[in-house]
């Protein structure tokens, strides 16, 4: 168990709430990060949320205890450390089930707020959402997360957040609500709010999708920045497009998508979109609520995966981003791996990355090193490299027939009652136009 010094404890009691962090090291579950690294990341999340970390501990376990997640002896020990470090809250590095949350809260006493990683991330998101869409998505995720966990402690919060943009995660936690009847009313209220938010978000999504269609009509391919939070995505877009997107050494600085036009060396322009970063153990409620934002990535012609090579867990972060992309079904979009922050290295960058990851480019978003090479690689992939495709184009989509003849090369054409089956090759810039008409691998007999 680690605790911070008494001096730093005293200094900040007045300013920042203090938290004790607790994790579980599962014996037979493979995790993206070691428990120590995961707790360190939780500490950075706390710093982002304006919470001081008073200490941290973990338990190595085979399986969760039904009632309290961790063993009863460990709960007693935890209570001791919470008292010892004068912490107002304990934050678990695991998502707590409603029962775990309730029982732990009961045992640790109402003066200690029991939170989990998901609640903390939701709180950061609530602080960083600046557009109506972002705020709606965070509010939805917060209500979805809270509904099954609603106890006296949360009812106060639910009312406090009601009608607002969903702000106020950690601040109000722990205040007792007025009893079961009120609880039932609050549950119904929250269910109604979830319903309303989903409807509002549907409208936003339709608007976004119409906007994307118009953008597609402009003929400019879309490159989506993806990557672990804090990798340098916004810094890169600022450098490329002379933009002024908020950049900070904090997690989840960006939530709302921003798109800028950038010119490639050959004179053609692309649209580059910067959006929310990923993290290991990304809460399911967030992925579900952020569908509108994630669709920006889904419809891109090319993904530019930004990697912070100066981070000690760089490989685990890359793995985690690949896994998230796969979970979202986006693993088939062409990808460039931008190995960023090379200006921070004291030794030359580890060239083994080039063999391990697709289309690697070493760069510094901050100093501009490697940027010309990056732009050239984007151009090559979008306009020079031909990608094999097999599509069935309906007779009504004559524009796409023209496109494949003009920009690509056609190898075979078969007329069917419901469309024309074409095998051929096409540059990446136009691949996404054909996505909905694809027939699997070009070698297939179908």
Ligand X SMILES: Nc1nc2c(ncn2[C@@H]2O[C@H](COP(=O)(O)OP(=O)(O)OP(=O)(O)O)[C@@H](O)[C@H]2O)c(=O)[nH]1
Residues of this chain that bind Mg ion (CB under 5 A): 234, 253-254
In 3D, which of 255, 226, 232 has the Cα closest to residue 336? 226
The residue from 253, 282, 289, 426 that contacts ligand X (CB under 6 A) is 253
- Closest to ligand X by CB, 68 vs 258, is 258
> Whole-number minimum distance, CB 225 to ligand X, in Å?
8
Residue 80 sits in the site that holds ligand X (CB under 6 A) = no
Interaction partner, residue 248 (ligand X, Mg ion, none; CB < 5-8 Å by kind): ligand X
Residue 370 sits in the site that holds ligand X (CB under 6 A) = no
The rounded distance, in Å, linking the Cα atoms of 306 and 370 is 13
Q: What is the DSSP letter of 243?
A: -
The rounded distance, in Å, linking the Cα atoms of 331 and 310 is 25
- Closest to ligand X by CB, 92 vs 252, is 252
- Closest to Mg ion by CB, 101 vs 336, is 336
> Whole-number minimum distance, CB 418 to ligand X, in Å?
44
In 3D, which of 333, 431, 332, 331 has the Cα closest to residue 391? 431
Residue 277 sits in the site that holds ligand X (CB under 6 A) = yes
Point out which span in 5-13, 187-195, 313-321, 358-366 binds ligand X (CB under 6 A). 358-366
- Closest to ligand X by CB, 205 vs 366, is 366
CB 304 within 8 A of CB 321: no
Interacting residues of 224 by C-beta distance below 8 A, sequence separation 6+: 272, 273, 275, 296, 297, 300, 302, 303, 304
Residue 174 sits in the site that holds ligand X (CB under 6 A) = no
- Closest to Mg ion by CB, 253 vs 342, is 253
Give the dihedral of Cα atoms 157, 162, 164, 170; nearest 10 deg: 10
Residue 251 sits in the site that holds ligand X (CB under 6 A) = yes
- One character per residue 318-347, x = contact with ligand X (rule: CB under 6 A): ----------------------xx-xx---
Residue 127 sits in the site that holds ligand X (CB under 6 A) = no
SS3 label, residue 362:
strand
Interacting residues of 113 by C-beta distance below 8 A, sequence separation 6+: 88, 89, 90, 153, 170, 173, 174
> Whole-number minimum distance, CB 366 to ligand X, in Å?
3
The rounded distance, in Å, linking the Cα atoms of 99 and 267 is 59
- Closest to ligand X by CB, 48 vs 112, is 48
Residue 24 sits in the site that holds ligand X (CB under 6 A) = no
- Closest to ligand X by CB, 290 vs 383, is 290
Query: What is the enclosing helix (H) or strand (E) of 43?
Result: helix 35-49
Total residues at the site for ligand X (CB under 6 A)? Answer: 23
Question: Angle formed by the axes of helices 132-146 and 117-128, to 10°?
Answer: 160
Residue 295 sits in the site that holds ligand X (CB under 6 A) = no
The 10 Å Cβ neighbour count of residue 348 is: 8
Interaction partner, residue 200 (ligand X, Mg ion, none; CB < 5-8 Å by kind): none
Interface positions with ligand X (CB under 6 A) = 227, 229-235, 247-249, 251-254, 277, 340-341, 343-344, 364-366
């Amino acid at each position: 168990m680690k605790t911070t010094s008494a001096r730093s404890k005293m200094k900040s009691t007045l300013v920042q709430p203090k938290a004790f962090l607790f994790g579980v090291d599962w014996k037979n579950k493979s995790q993206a990060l070691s428990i120590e690294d995961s707790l360190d990341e939780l500490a950075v999340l706390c710093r982002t949320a304006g919470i001081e970390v008073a200490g941290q501990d973990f338990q190595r376990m085979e399986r969760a205890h039904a009632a309290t997640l961790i063993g009863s002896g460990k709960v007693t020990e935890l209570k001791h450390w919470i008292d010892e470090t004068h912490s107002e809250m304990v934050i678990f590095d695991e998502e707590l089930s409603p029962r775990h949350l309730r029982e732990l809260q009961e045992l640790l006493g109402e003066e200690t707020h029991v939170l989990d990683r998901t609640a903390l991330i939701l709180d950061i998101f609530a602080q960083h959402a600046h557009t109506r869409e972002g705020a709606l998505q965070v509010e939805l995720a917060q209500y979805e997360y809270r509904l099954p966990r609603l106890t006296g402690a949360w009812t106060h919060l639910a009312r406090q957040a009601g009608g607002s943009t969903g702000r106020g995660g950690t601040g109000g936690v722990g205040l007792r609500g007025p009893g079961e009847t009120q609880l039932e009313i609050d549950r119904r209220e929250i269910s109604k709010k979830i319903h309303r938010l989903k409807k509002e978000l549907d409208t936003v999504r339709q608007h976004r999708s119409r906007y994307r269609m118009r953008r597609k009509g402009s003929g400019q391919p879309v490159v989506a920045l993806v990557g672990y939070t804090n990798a340098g995505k916004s810094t890169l877009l600022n450098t490329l497009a002379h933009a002024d997107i908020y950049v900070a050494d904090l997690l989840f600085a960006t939530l709302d998508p921003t798109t800028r036009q950038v010119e490639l060396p050959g004179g053609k322009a692309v649209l580059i979109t910067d959006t929310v970063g990923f993290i290991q153990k990304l809460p399911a409620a967030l992925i579900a609520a952020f569908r509108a934002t994630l669709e920006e990535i889904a419809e891109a012609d090319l993904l530019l995966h930004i990697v912070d090579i100066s981070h000690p867990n760089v490989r685990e972060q890359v793995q985690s981003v690949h896994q998230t992309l796969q979970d979202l079904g986006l693993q088939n979009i062409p990808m460039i791996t931008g190995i960023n922050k090379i200006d921070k290295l004291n030794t030359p960058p580890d060239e083994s990355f080039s063999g391990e990851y697709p289309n690697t480019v070493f760069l510094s978003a901050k100093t501009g090193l490697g940027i010309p090479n990056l732009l050239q690689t984007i151009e090559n992939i979008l306009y020079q490299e031909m990608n094999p495709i097999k599509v069935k184009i309906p007779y009504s989509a004559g524009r796409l027939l023209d496109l494949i003849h003009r920009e690509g090369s056609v190898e075979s054409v078969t007329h069917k009652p419901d469309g024309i089956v074409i095998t051929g090759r096409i540059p990446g810039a136009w691949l996404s136009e054909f996505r909905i008409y694809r027939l699997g691998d070009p070698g297939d007999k179908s």
